[in-house]
Amino acid sequence: MTHITLIRHGQANTEARDEVSYDRLSPLGHQQADWLGQYLASSNAHHPRVYSGTLTRHIETASGMGCTEVTQDARLNEMEYFTMAQAMQEQHGLAIPEEREGFIAHLPKVFKAWAAGEIDNPPESWCDFEHRTQSVLAEIAAGEGPALVVTSGGFISMAMRQAMGLDTDGMARMALAIMNTSMHRLFPIGGHLSPVLFNAVPHLDNSERQHAQTHL
């Protein structure tokens, strides 16, 4: 097994409330990706393998980091949160928030309903999301050399849930905390992938870039 560094995409379209509109980087998102790429290059980080999901925001982030050879895999894509949020509104009367603070209470409710099978006809089941997260990371871990994986916050929180045995509430809290272009490392310990890094943004740590430490 080899270690894997998961990277959340740069800031996307924060005004969006549907999947298609959300799936592109904002100007700040492009800048975050560029800063991360510069940081990795200057630190001589060795990652002979780079993967990403197939969503536009994943591809734009990897490109903005300066990655030229990227293996795209749809199993690294995000859950369709906005689609499920719309279903929760229609089926359970849960309003979709208009501001960031509203998602702090909204996201755990969506996760719980999804995990309990209380959302009719979701884009994919909770079990399917669990399985594809586990299967793609196992395949990447079986390869040779450290890997960078550009994906999304929900995927990362599921990976951490599996690594740490988190319940659904713990996974939701973790998802809400994950910053754009943050790094999260899973390291093989005792035959299992264990977290040794979470939400690291060294490329955004100086005072001139702290405004770029975004969650949405």
At residue 85 the predicted structure's pLDDT band, cuts being 50, 70 and 90, is very high
What's the pLDDT tens digit per position in 9-33? 999 987 777 888 899 999 999 999 9
Mean pLDDT of the residues in the chain: 95
Question: Residue 3 and residue 182: Cα distance in Å, rounded?
Answer: 16
pTM of the model: 0.96
> What is the reported pLDDT for 11?
97
DSSP conformation letters of 185-209: EEEEETTEEEEEEEEE-GGG-STTT
State the Cα–Cα distance between residues 62 and 2, nearest whole angstrom. 20
DSSP code of 68?
-
* Strand 183-189 with 71-72, pairing: unpaired
Using 50, 70 and 90 to split pLDDT, how confident is the model at 4? very high
- Strand stretches in the chain, DSSP E: 4-8, 49-52, 71-72, 147-151, 183-189, 192-200
The arithmetic mean of pLDDT across residues 30-39, rounded, is 98
Average of per-residue pLDDT across 62-86: 96
Close Cβ partners of 199 (under 8 Å, ≥ 6 residues apart): 177, 178, 179, 182, 183, 184
Tokens read off for 117: 């099978």
Mean pLDDT score, 185-205: 96
| Beta-ladder partners of 187 | 194
Is the model's pLDDT at 149 over the cut of 90? yes
Residue type, 135: S
Residues 6+ apart with CB under 8 A from 92: 113, 118
Task: In whole angstroms, give the CA distance from residue 204 to residue 186.
Answer: 21
Higher pLDDT, 150 or 46: 150
At residue 77 the predicted structure's pLDDT band, cuts being 50, 70 and 90, is very high
- In the numeric block, which tokens belong to residue 107? 């996201």
* Residue 14, pLDDT score: 79
Residue identified by tokens 């045995």 is: 165
Q: Which helix (H) or strand (E) holds 6?
A: strand 4-8
Q: Looking at residues 142-149, what average pLDDT do you find?
A: 96
DSSP 74-99: GGGSPP-HHHHHHHHHHHH--PPPSS
Model pLDDT, residue 21: 86
Single-letter residue type at 93: G
Q: What is the pLDDT of residue 80?
A: 95
| Band of pLDDT at residue 99, cut at 50, 70 and 90 | confident
